[in-house]
Structures are given as structure tokens and as C-alpha cells.
């Protein structure tokens, strides 16, 4: 567990968000922002969300990597060791920077314990494939895939990946979901958390940020 000194270090030196102090809450976040000379707009709790579902049973390796056991290093060789080039490489760069012990590798992908995660965002910065996003807990769902390949290519390397079919886009009642570069994107300013996108997704690529069952409203 991190303490006050650790939180201060990542806020000042590593660009973490201001609301790391959970006991201090909104008052502490505003005071820190005042000291830093910036404005803080809302202090709703945040959590990290892994945007990849290419586990070992769905996304095979194309070679065995014998170099330095790091996602960054592995990614230098042919865009990583797995067939999908937008997949978790599972060498734990995110684990190494997480002060809360909130991340573990399960079946070849990083899994985040939302109860431990404080939403600092350091894991997101450490991931070379940009597979981790920091979301407000009120943002109910996200796309559990980061591939921008066309649907047939995505399906050939991972059956769980977003194929850009636009079913989510067509069925979103608030126009919050669009498909851009073969990938679904959610505009959280428009999203009402109705859950319709998750319901219609044929590959189950849209999932709950908190790991709960998505209830359709």
C-alpha cells in the first residue's frame, strides 16, 4: 500500500491524478490542485480498465520470446509475440508500476482488482500497446479490445475482438457509440449507461468497467 509520500511523488513527478488520497476525498484533491496551481474538475473515483480479452485460450503466440521479460522489449520484435498486435503481452510492466498490488496476470492478460485500484493511471502509461484506460466508475461500460484491424483480421487472431460490425452504433439510443477505424468508441458525454451496446455485441467485446453484469435499462 502507498502512503502520503508515495502519492505525493506520483502526483508531482509522474503526472498522476489529484484524487489519490481516498480518506481526504474531494477536499484533499482541491487543496492539492490549488498547491499545484491548476483547477480540478470533479473528483469522482476512477479505476483502470484493461482493454484486451485476448487470453491464452483465444490468442496464440507466434513465437517464444527469450529476451528481457518486459512488454516494451517484447513489443520491439515483430510487434510482440502474439498473433494479435494489439494484445496484452503479459510480461507485467503494468504490475511493476502499481503501488497497490492491484494487477495480476491471469491466463495471459492483465487483470485489475477494482477494489484495490486507486485510478492513478501509471499502469496505463506503462503499457506499450495502450491497452489500459482510466475510467470514472460511473462510466458503466467500455470496449474490451484495442485492435484497429478490419473485422476479418481481428477474428482470425482473436474471437473476442471488436470487429467493427456497427451493431452497437446502430442500437445506441443516445448516439454515444460510433465505429472509428474498425473499432467501437464510446462518447461518455452522451452515454446514458443503458447497456444496450453490450447486449447487442456479438463478440461480447463491450463489458462492464467494474466487472459486473451489464444490466440493460
- CA 40 – CA 17 distance, rounded (Å): 9
For residues 92-121, average pLDDT: 93
Span 42-91, pLDDT tens digits? 567 789 999 999 988 888 889 999 999 999 999 999 889 999 999 999 99
Enumerate the domain spans of the chain: 4-43, 50-137, 139-217
Element (H, E) at 32: helix 25-36
**Do 50-137 and 139-217 share a fold?**
yes
CATH topology of domain 139-217: Alpha-Beta Plaits (3.30.70)
C-alpha cell at 4: 502520503
Query: What's the confidence (pLDDT) of residue 126?
Result: 95
Pick the CATH number of 50-137 from 3.55.50.30, 3.30.70.20, 3.40.50.1240, 3.10.580.10: 3.30.70.20
Instruction: Give the pTM.
Output: 0.77
Element (H, E) at 136: strand 132-136
Residue with cell 442500437: 171
Amino acid at each position: 500500500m502507498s502512503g502520503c509520500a508515495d502519492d505525493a511523488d506520483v502526483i508531482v513527478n509522474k503526472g498522476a491524478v489529484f484524487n489519490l488520497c481516498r480518506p481526504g476525498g474531494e477536499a484533499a484533491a482541491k487543496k492539492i490542485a490549488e498547491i499545484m496551481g491548476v483547477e480540478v474538475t470533479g473528483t469522482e473515483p476512477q479505476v483502470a480498465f484493461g482493454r484486451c480479452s485476448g487470453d491464452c485460450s483465444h490468442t496464440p503466440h507466434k513465437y517464444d520470446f527469450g529476451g528481457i521479460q518486459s512488454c516494451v522489449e517484447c513489443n520491439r520484435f515483430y510487434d510482440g509475440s502474439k498473433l494479435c498486435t494489439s494484445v496484452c503481452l503479459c510480461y507485467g510492466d503494468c504490475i511493476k508500476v502499481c503501488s497497490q498490488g492491484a494487477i495480476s496476470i491471469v491466463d495471459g492478460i492483465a487483470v485489475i482488482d477494482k477494489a484495490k485500484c486507486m485510478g492513478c493511471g501509471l499502469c496505463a502509461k506503462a503499457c506499450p500497446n495502450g491497452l489500459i484506460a482510466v475510467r470514472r466508475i460511473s462510466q458503466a461500460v467500455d470496449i474490451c479490445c484495442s485492435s484497429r484491424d478490419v473485422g476479418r483480421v481481428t477474428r482470425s487472431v482473436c474471437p473476442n475482438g471488436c470487429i467493427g460490425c456497427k451493431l452497437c452504433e446502430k442500437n445506441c439510443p443516445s448516439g454515444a457509440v460510433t465505429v472509428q477505424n474498425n473499432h467501437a468508441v464510446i462518447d461518455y458525454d452522451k452515454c446514458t449507461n443503458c447497456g444496450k451496446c453490450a447486449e447487442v455485441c456479438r463478440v461480447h467485446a463491450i463489458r462492464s468497467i467494474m466487472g459486473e453484469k451489464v444490466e440493460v435499462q
